[in-house]
Amino acid sequence: MIDIQAVEPAARRAYLPLLLDADPSEEMVARYLARGEMYAVVVDGAPVCEAVVLPLPGGRCELKNLACAPGCRGQGYASLLLEYLFLAFAGRFTEMLVGTSEKGMGFYARLGFAYSHTVPGFFTDNYPAPLYEDGVQCVDMHYLRRAL
């Protein structure tokens, strides 16, 4: 059985390995985890995907973390969770932002996000060690947005 559940603040530390898969800095995760809302896709009692959304001023929100367990990727759980969040947040926020590396842009575009802006050097300026995806160093943060 597949279920989508809110994750209460007291239970969020249990998701740290999954959170760090999407954002490898525990310090960065700590900056938004307590202030955001966390949701998880649970399959037969086991969490397989999580998302953290942070409310922003001006009626917007930002997807700060999205990750699926390694053995559960490519099965549609992240898309399912985002579609759920789009509906759940539609009455509360007007727009969702997401910052991602070059590699993540296509995934978000398929879900209706459009390019907004780039923060040059974000990954190199904010992480102590270089970050790589598929052998390519992450340098700039690309922001996309989607109307809710």
pLDDT band at residue 84 using 50, 70 and 90 as cut-offs: very high
Amino acid 125: pLDDT: 94
pTM: 0.94
Q: What is the largest CA-CA distance in the chain?
A: 42
Amino acid 113: pLDDT: 98
* Nearest one of 114, 116, 118, 83 to 102, comparing CA atoms: 118
Amino acid 134: pLDDT: 85
State the average pLDDT over residues 71-93: 96
Residue 22 CA to residue 12 CA, distance in Å, equals 15
Q: Average pLDDT over the chain, rounded to whole?
A: 95
Residue 67 has pLDDT above 90, yes or no: yes
